[in-house]
Chain A
Amino acid sequence: MKNPNNTPHNPELALEVRGLIKSYGKVQALRGIDLEVRQGEIFGFLGPNGAGKTTTIRCLLDMIRPDAGSIHLLGLNPKVDPVAVQALAGYLPGEVQYYENMTAEHQLRFYGDMRNGRADWKYVHELAERLSLNMKQAIKNLSKGNKQKIGVIQALMHHPKLLLLDEPTSGLDPLMQQEVLSMLREANAAGATVFFSSHIMSEVESLAERVAIIRLGEIVETAETNVLTGRSVRRLIVRLKRPVSNLSIENLPGVEVLTSTDETSFTLQVTGDMEKLVKALGDYPVLDLETDHPSLEETFLAYYKK
């Protein structure tokens, strides 16, 4: 790994990644990832399967070693001092596997012991109750969702300063998803920085303050969630007082007519600036204009269609 130790880092950042590259044989999983997550922030890491989300998170905790680039978590380099980083972080893998013969409580005691006993057991029982998890049941008899709950609890049980979560609500029912998101907000309110990956747009949109979109091992966008959803692609419904056979706005850059009804109603998709379109519509008998802010999902898809 190049530049492992002495890359200067910003102390205001909980997570700082520069030029992260990782290959598996001939497959380049990460192609120079740059990320900055501020202290106390909830940061969403968005991308489809195979985009590099899990690889990035596993590099952060020294489970896999990058080919190049630098990483700092809370000012520490995981390559140089992985134990210190792991002591401050709470981690939830994308697919959690346990020792099947243990009970949930025994498994959590094991994780607590692996943290030198640094676990808040009152908090553990409170989380288990909120998630309706039976701690006395053997793990081999638990459903996927209940196993995920154990993973969430073990990530939170020591009040970590930094949470690194790979699809934290995977396998949970909608009610439990909301409960887990509440727990993450509470952890954040208590001072934890939350970095989580997901491909569930609504989840990222409701939780994350900022979002990075990863595509084929590259970060294609990093922005405030509301900025990201409020720009780039808009849907515009134009209603006219009388039919117009030929709406000559299609040639405007970034404008696409999606549907047309009775030559009086047009649904347009507009990418970028609206100014030219609004001026062009001045030549028509406009009855009504309706703009629709795209969801993060639409924004996300727009990036993937590029």
Chain B
Amino acid sequence: MKRFWTTFRYTYQWFRGQILGWGIGIAALGLLIVAFYDVFGERQADFMKMIESYPPEFLAFFGTDAKGMMSPEGYLGMYGFSFLPIIIGFFAVLVGSNLIAGDEEHGRLDLVIAHPVGRTAFYFGRLVAFMGATVSILVLGWLGFCVLLNGSSLEITWGEMTLPFISSLAQALIYGTLALLLSMVLPTRNFASIISGLVMVVGYVLSSMASLNENLGTVSKLFPYTYFQGSEAFTNLNLTWLLALFGVSAIMALLAWWRFMRRDIRLSGEGSFRLQIPFHIQRKTT
């Protein structure tokens, strides 16, 4: 257990800068959004005119309509929560793909893993540090969204504000563990982060467009973003979706661990797919 905590402690310490950077960024966004709502309310009539001039497809992209936009849930959903899983998702993809493969590609893992720490303790120490960093960022962001709530006409409690952040955590974990799993399977961490990032962005676009096209709605169900619950979590948090996302993340994390336990540790650099190149001329070696 001590070996696990040592790895956790050092990894979490290395995340300090990122926790502050990402966390303060989300918190600042939250402060602005909540503070701006009352201005928005005071000039509701002007905003209604502007929103009604938007094409309905544009509003549908954010999962709302002109009337819904004026509600606290619709407002927060459009300006805050539709982007939150993407923001925290980028952090998760970058960190997840880098969590072990980053040190390996830099040639540092070889010596670290030669110490009597054990692959399992090392892996879970790093994984839990990543989860801790993600939670820390979301807590900072949540504080930013909550600080001005009491003086705002949004009429949302701190507790209710927690729910979309829990859903964002589920999103972050699924993208992070996907990136981690792919980094254990694929030869380069860049490739792992590109694929995970694509899953996130394509899911976001498809899910947003699903309200305009039923066929896209069917396809979007394959992507995790569809199961993100922003403002709708205030009143109707779908626990099944939430637990399913946590469950899939746990399965991917366990698969990544299983792979890490069995694979060779590269000395440094990226691996190779070892694909046979067609028409490759084999030179005679002496």
Report A's interface with B, CB cutoff 8 A: 25, 54, 58, 61, 63-65, 82-84, 86-87, 89, 91, 93-99, 110-111, 113-116, 151, 154
Nearest B residue to A63, CB-CB: B265
* Cβ contact within 8 Å between B113 and A113: no
* Cβ contact within 8 Å between A114 and B268: no
CB distance from A91 to the nearest CB of B (A): 4
Q: Does B116 sit at the interface, judged by CB under 8 A? A: yes
Q: How far is the CA of A205 from the CA of B147 in the complex (A)?
A: 71
B113-143 to A contact mask, C-beta < 8 Å, 1/0:
1111111000000000000000000000000
Nearest B residue to A118, CB-CB: B116
Check A82/B115 contact, CB under 8 A, given A93-B267, A95-B267, A116-B3. Answer: no
Q: How far is the CA of A270 from the CA of B265 in the complex (A)?
A: 46
* Cβ contact within 8 Å between B107 and A63: no
* Cβ contact within 8 Å between B267 and A86: no
In the complex, given contacts A99-B14, A114-B3, what are 4 additional A-B residue pairs having Cβ atoms less than 8 angstroms apart?
Answer: A63-B264, A82-B118, A83-B3, A89-B114
Contacts of A110 in B (CB 8 A): 10
* Cβ contact within 8 Å between B116 and A93: no
* Cβ contact within 8 Å between A83 and B268: no
The 4 closest A-B pairs by CB, nearest first: A97-B107, A114-B115, A87-B116, A64-B264
Contacts of B114 in A (CB 8 A): 61, 63, 86, 89, 91, 93
* Cβ contact within 8 Å between A25 and B274: yes
Q: Does B49 sit at the interface, judged by CB under 8 A? A: no
A–B complex contacts, Cβ < 8 Å, 25 sampled: A58-B110, A58-B265, A58-B267, A63-B113, A63-B114, A63-B265, A83-B116, A83-B117, A86-B116, A86-B117, A87-B116, A91-B114, A95-B107, A97-B107, A97-B110, A97-B268, A111-B115, A113-B6, A114-B6, A114-B115, A114-B116, A115-B116, A116-B2, A116-B6, A116-B116
Q: How far is the CA of A58 from the CA of B118 in the complex (A)?
A: 15
Nearest B residue to A64, CB-CB: B264
Q: Does B106 sit at the interface, judged by CB under 8 A? A: yes
Q: Does B219 sit at the interface, judged by CB under 8 A? A: no
CB distance from B269 to the nearest CB of A (A): 11
Q: How far is the CA of A89 from the CA of B114 in the complex (A)?
A: 9
Nearest A residue to B262, CB-CB: A65
**Using a CB-CB cutoff of 8 Å, which residues 228-269 of chain B contact chain A?**
262, 264-265, 267-268
* Cβ contact within 8 Å between B10 and A97: no
CB distance from A103 to the nearest CB of B (A): 14
* Cβ contact within 8 Å between B115 and A97: no
Nearest B residue to A54, CB-CB: B267
Q: How far is the CA of A83 from the CA of B118 in the complex (A)?
A: 6
* Cβ contact within 8 Å between A91 and B116: no
Q: How far is the CA of A63 from the CA of B106 in the complex (A)?
A: 16
**Using a CB-CB cutoff of 8 Å, which residues 161-213 of chain B contact chain A?**
none
**Using a CB-CB cutoff of 8 Å, which residues 54-113 of chain B contact chain A?**
106-108, 110-113
